[in-house]
């Protein structure tokens, strides 16, 4: 299984589907992804193999932590991200994996800024802000 940017320059080899898929409706994830919410599949970093050149962007989070996104300098797609809260984990952009059979989110966070038409169905934990 593999995640890649639009142009294919930046790739991440994955061991398979992740059971830890998180949908985030925060404003920063909306701007980062260009979508109404961001969805990341989390993996321990040592299970992943990154190839290609990634550019990093780091920002502060509303909870006072740091969040780093890595994107392709050619086409601009975010391929993966990391939070200082869980530095050994990497969140791979579910859209970059582009496999419709992937598991649905198990957590939905920052729902206080969720678009009014969005619902996250199924067995999912809902949080108004970040996970507590």
Examine residue 26 and tell whether it contacts Zn ion (CB under 5 A).
Answer: yes
For Zn ion, give the closer residue by CB, 7 or 60.
Answer: 7
Q: How far is the C-alpha of 80 from the C-alpha of 10, rounded, in Å?
A: 10
Q: What is the Cα–Cα distance from 28 to 33, expressed in whole angstroms?
A: 9
Q: Which bin fits 112, alpha (ψ -120 to 50), beta or left (φ > 0)?
A: alpha
Q: Which is nearer to Zn ion, 101 or 132 (CB)?
A: 132
Indicate which single residue of 1, 2, 9, 130 sits in contact with Zn ion (rule: CB under 5 A).
Answer: 9
Separation of alpha carbons 19 and 22, rounded Å: 10
Decide if residue 72 touches Zn ion (CB under 5 A).
Answer: yes
CB of 37 to Zn ion, least distance (A): 8
Minimum Å distance from CB 26 to Zn ion? 3
User: Rounded distance, CA 112 to CA 130, Å?
Assistant: 10
Does 79 participate in binding Zn ion (rule CB under 5 A)? no
User: Where does this chain bind Zn ion (CB under 5 A)?
Assistant: 5, 7, 9, 24, 26, 29, 72, 74-75
């Amino acid at each position: 299984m593999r995640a890649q940017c639009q142009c294919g320059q930046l790739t991440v080899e994955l061991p398979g589907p992740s059971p830890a898929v998180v949908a985030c409706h925060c404003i920063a994830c909306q701007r980062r992804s260009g979508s109404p919410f961001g969805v990341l599949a989390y993996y321990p970093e040592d299970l992943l193999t990154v190839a290609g050149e990634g550019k990093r962007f780091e920002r502060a989070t509303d909870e006072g932590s740091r969040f780093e996104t890595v994107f392709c300098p050619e086409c601009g797609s975010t391929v993966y991200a990391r939070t200082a809260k869980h530095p050994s984990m990497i969140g791979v952009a579910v859209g970059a994996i582009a496999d419709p059979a992937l598991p649905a989110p198990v957590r939905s966070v920052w729902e206080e800024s969720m678009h009014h038409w969005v619902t996250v169905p199924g067995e999912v934990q809902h949080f108004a802000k970040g996970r507590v």
